[in-house]
Amino acid sequence: MQNRVKETILKNGLIEQNQRVLVGVSGGADSMALLFVLWKLAAEGMGFTLGAVHVHHGIRGGEADGDEAHVASFCRKLGVPLAVRRVDVPGLAAREGLSLEEAGRKARYRAFQALVREEGWDRVAVAHHRDDQVETILLNLFRGTGLPGLAGMPLRRGNIIRPLLHCSRAEVEEWCESQGIGYRTDATNLEAVHTRNRIRLHLLPLVEREVNPHVREQLLGMAELLEEENRFLESEAEKALEAVAGPGGDLALEPLLALPLALRRRVVLAACAAAGGGRRDLGKVHVDAVLALAARPPGSRQLHLPGGLRARVRYGKLELGLEPSGPEFGPESGPVEAVPTREELEAGTELFFLGRRFGFRVLEYDDSMKIPKNLYTKWFDYDRINNDLRIRTRQTGDFIAVKKETGALGRKTLKAWCIDEKIPKEARDSIPLVAMDHQILWIVGHRMGEAARVESGTRRVLEISVFEEKSNE
């Protein structure tokens, strides 16, 4: 295995002479093997220096403390400097609306990159292997993905390297045994709780037994082919980006919209990354929302994207940049909004706005249908909605239709409603609104107006569902 890892490093330029390599070490077989094999290669004179980092997740109690102690003992034995970072993963998961698994991943990579900035490491080595790659390809397939997802994890992305990616889990564990490397076993990896675990423990063995005993090798072969094609498309997208981008990074709308759709999506994704957003947090729904914004009639429009990005169309250009620091963007920036067309609503569509995904569909209605009581799924009388429907933040003059004690409809200003409901001023600009002109149909997460409620004479219903956006791997 040591020779294979060395060959992988040299053939793919993962580590260069005199570089400093930080190894993420959890205490499991994979990361312990990675640390030891890199330590041996460095001792053989490959010309790099080594350090290690262990991230304590604040979960699993004494077991996690034991992981930390085991890693610390091994690093002392090898003479490798170790940094330990303790993070509150449950707290992070609660704050950002993530699963514990995703919050742990985020916490680890944030800790890695913080150390890179603080201590000047050139590479961060993580211990993903061939079986992890197979699981990742299937995860991406089931979630819906393009070529990059089906190509799996690259050997290198930025400063992250994966020297074990050509080794199997069995090879790694056998090598640990042969080298006398003790390792910790996380009992949660043996539980079919997370999706990745269910793929590993149930789905893959079933497919190997009932469908194709060589499915792992064939998935990896497919990923290799798709990676080659993806690299080609990425190079074409880089050329296209240079052709449509101005000096400040803004994209000229006319040449952008003239590109083939496959390149158009990649150009927008690359431009978002260049503007400071993370590619990982941007999916097809976000890229398509930006392209829909770009294709709409002239005007000043904008929408929010994950990672603190804002997309805005002005003066024939698509501007992509980080959000201003404050909630008020100034009068020149225009309303913050996403606007579905009538055709999009009737075909069924999704829009992304303020960190949420809005799903729309039109249904035929009869009185036997049960109106949902869900806080984030609402039904509206579609035929009472005009062509000015939009998702936006508050504006001066906004009001909501309310029912008076007499049963007659009246109106209440949005400002008065916010005061009555004790909504803090600093929070009011972050509440999505479903509006027609200045009439608010739905204060998302709070209340509906009375103007377009479903009644006995309703023939068609517009269903709007709102979902928090989460990143996936």
Q: How far is CA 248 from the centre of its chain?
A: 26
Nearest to 266 by CA among 247, 248, 246, 243: 243
In angstroms, the CA 453 to CA 462 distance is 10
* pLDDT for res 190: 64
Nearest to 270 by CA among 307, 238, 296, 305: 238
Q: Which CATH number fits domain 1-223: 3.30.9.10, 3.20.20.70, 3.40.50.1100, 3.40.50.620?
A: 3.40.50.620
Give yes or no for a contact between 394 and 431, defined as CB atoms under 8 angstroms apart.
yes
| DSSP bridge partners of 24 | 53
180 sits in the region (left: phi over 0; alpha: psi -120 to 50; else beta) called: left
Residue 176 pLDDT greater than 70, yes or no: yes
* pLDDT for res 249: 81
For the segment 207-215, the average pLDDT, to the nearest whole number, is 94
Residue 335 pLDDT greater than 60, yes or no: no
For the ranges 56-60, 94-98, 239-243, the lowest mean pLDDT is seen at: 94-98
Phi and psi for 24 in degrees, rounded to 5? -80, 120
- Compute the 3-state secondary structure of the chain and give helix, strand, coil in percent, each to the nearest 5: 45, 20, 35
245-322: which CATH architecture? 2-Layer Sandwich (3.30)
Alpha carbons within 13 angstroms on the beta-carbon side of residue 186 total 20
Residue 464 pLDDT greater than 70, yes or no: yes
In angstroms, the CA 202 to CA 212 distance is 14
For the segment 36-56, the average pLDDT, to the nearest whole number, is 94
* pLDDT for res 471: 41
Residues placed in the known binding site for ATP: 26-31
* pLDDT for res 189: 66
Identify the band that residue 106 occupies on the pLDDT scale cut at 50, 70 and 90. Answer: confident
Structure tokens at 422: 């004790």
Q: Name which residue leads in pLDDT, 327 or 384.
A: 384
* pLDDT for res 328: 34
- Give me the DSSP letters along 83-137: EEEE--HHHHHHHHT--HHHHHHHHHHHHHHHHHHHH--SEEE----HHHHHHHH
Give yes or no for a contact between 183 and 25, defined as CB atoms under 8 angstroms apart.
no
Give yes or no for a contact between 412 and 400, defined as CB atoms under 8 angstroms apart.
yes
Residues placed in the known binding site: 26-31
Segments making up each domain of the chain, as ranges: 1-223, 245-322, 337-468
Residue 20 pLDDT greater than 90, yes or no: yes
Residue 71, class by beta-carbon neighbours within 10 Å (0-12 exposed, 13-18 middle, 19+ buried)?
A: buried
For the segment 106-125, the average pLDDT, to the nearest whole number, is 92
pTM, rounded to two decimals: 0.65
Give yes or no for a contact between 305 and 283, defined as CB atoms under 8 angstroms apart.
no
Residue 146's CB: how many other CB atoms inside 10 A? 18
Q: Which residues contact 358 (CB under 8 A, 6 or more apart)?
A: 338, 350, 351, 352, 391, 432, 464, 465, 466
CA end-to-end distance (rounded Å), the chain: 27
- The mean predicted confidence, pLDDT, of the chain is 86
* pLDDT for res 25: 95
DSSP letter at 190 equals G
* pLDDT for res 331: 32
In angstroms, the CA 164 to CA 399 distance is 59
- Give me the DSSP letters along 232-273: HHHHHHHHHHHHHB-TTSPEEHHHHHHS-HHHHHHHHHHHHH
Residue 131 pLDDT greater than 50, yes or no: yes
Structure tokens at 206: 């079933």
